[in-house]
């Protein structure tokens, strides 16, 4: 059974940091586009960052560039999102997604590219 499990969410003040983790199980892959999405109440789910696992190539939404860093753990079954200089507008449910077998992350912001999703972890940033 494929599972993506996010953790590391919480409540912080503006300017603070959080590190999200996505643990992948039940899935074996040599290449994938792994991504973090977020969804605030009343808003559409949007792509935050992606990483192509074979090349460690990363892409970011403009709103988080320079503040967030996506990375993968050794062994390839964990993806992280380091979030620094958090702002109230970063408040959302954060989801991990996997496009297994991908040859890159060219369409990484499209939700329908991803077959596997986690349940989400809540991030709340207060001013």
Strands (E), the chain: 3-7, 10-13, 18-25, 32-39, 46-52, 57-60, 68-72, 78-83, 92-100, 116-117, 121-126
pLDDT of residue 2: 87
Burial classification of residue 36, based on how many CB atoms lie within 10 Å of its CB (0-12 exposed, 13-18 middle, 19 or more buried):
buried
pLDDT of residue 27: 81
Per-residue pLDDT reduced to its tens digit, 21-40: 999 998 878 889 999 999 99
pLDDT of residue 127: 95
Largest CA distance in the chain: 42
Render each residue's pLDDT in the chain as its tens digit; 127 residues: 889 999 999 999 999 999 999 999 988 788 899 999 999 999 999 999 999 999 999 999 999 999 999 999 987 789 999 999 999 999 999 999 999 988 999 999 999 999 999 999 999 999 9
pLDDT of residue 26: 87
From the list 57, 63, 56, 64, the residue with the least C-alpha distance to 20 is 64
pLDDT of residue 75: 76
């Amino acid at each position: 059974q494929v599972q993506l499990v996010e953790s590391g969410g919480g409540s912080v003040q503006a300017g603070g940091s959080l590190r999200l983790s996505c643990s992948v199980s039940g899935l074996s892959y040599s290449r994938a586009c792994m991504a973090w999405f977020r969804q605030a109440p009343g808003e559409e789910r949007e792509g935050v960052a992606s990483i192509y696992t074979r090349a460690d190539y990363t892409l970011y939404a403009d709103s988080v560039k320079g503040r967030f860093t996506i990375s993968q753990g050794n062994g390839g079954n964990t993806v992280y999102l380091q979030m620094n200089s958090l702002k109230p507008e970063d408040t959302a449910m954060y989801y991990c997604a996997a496009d297994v077998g991908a040859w890159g992350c060219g369409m990484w912001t499209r939700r329908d590219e991803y077959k596997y999703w986690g349940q989400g972890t809540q991030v709340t940033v207060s001013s």
